[in-house]
Amino acid sequence: MKRSIKDLYSSLPLIALILFTTTSFYAQDTEDLEGWSAIELNLKASDKLSFSVSEHLRYRNDISSLKNYFTQIKVNYELFKNFELGGGVRYITDNDDVGNKQGHEYLFRYQFDAVFKQKIERVMVSFRLRYQNKNQLGLSESEGDVPTEYTRYRMGLSYKVKPIKLNVKLFGEVFNEPQSPEKNKGFNRHRYTLKLSRKFKNFGTLGIFYALQDDYSTPIKKNKSIVGFKYSYNINLTK
């Protein structure tokens, strides 16, 4: 009991930071609200190798119309302690509901990750470098398909509030679009995310998040809020 009280008191600075961050997020004026949801299965094949497959559904226009849905497959390998490499692919069905010609567009995205993690006291600090490339299927470059490339840099803090078994994560990420045909190429997108999750025995992990994204890729700055929900289930083959 004393230890739980001590843990709770030690968590107060982080809880205060979360409240301040959340208040700052909601104080922002955004042009749109999106809703993201996902269900994920994680498979730990060995101490170093893991796989995951997930289904995603996203809505836009204040969560009133479908944006896209996609299947994602990822693999991660721990090269050495605190450092892992990963890769993934997405098959995306995009809902084009603007203009005279509307319908579904099919896209393919691949990505490569390098992740470094280091625990400092009870806080896990992480840095992820990601390269991603997305293009439209069934359309050649001469027909107008220009692959969208991004290099992404994400810094994160993770903390477990033991008394309530809650995992708290804060992320800040910048996107670099080196091949953008627009004038506003380069570092043209920022995303800030707060995630809360809890693992339940024999059930899986439930998580919610809120993100604020600023986009400078067009002459007029665009910003949006994102609320999300995720359920994940882990299978450990090493036990």
Tell me the pLDDT of the chain (239 aa) as tens digits: 444 445 544 544 554 555 455 445 444 556 889 999 999 999 999 999 999 999 999 999 999 999 999 999 999 999 999 999 999 999 999 998 776 667 889 999 999 999 999 999 889 999 999 999 999 888 777 666 778 899 999 999 999 998 888 999 999 999 998 865 555 577 888 999 999 999 998 899 999 999 999 987 777 778 999 999 999 999 999 88
Residue 136's closest CA among 126, 124, 144? 144
In this prediction, residue 133 carries a pLDDT of 95
Q: What pLDDT is attached to residue 68?
A: 96
Looking at residue 187, what is its pLDDT? 81
Instruction: Spell out the domains of the chain, with CATH numbers in brackets.
Output: 2-236 (2.40.160.40)
**What does the pLDDT read at residue 26?**
44
Q: What is the per-residue pLDDT for 27? A: 47
pTM tops 0.85: no
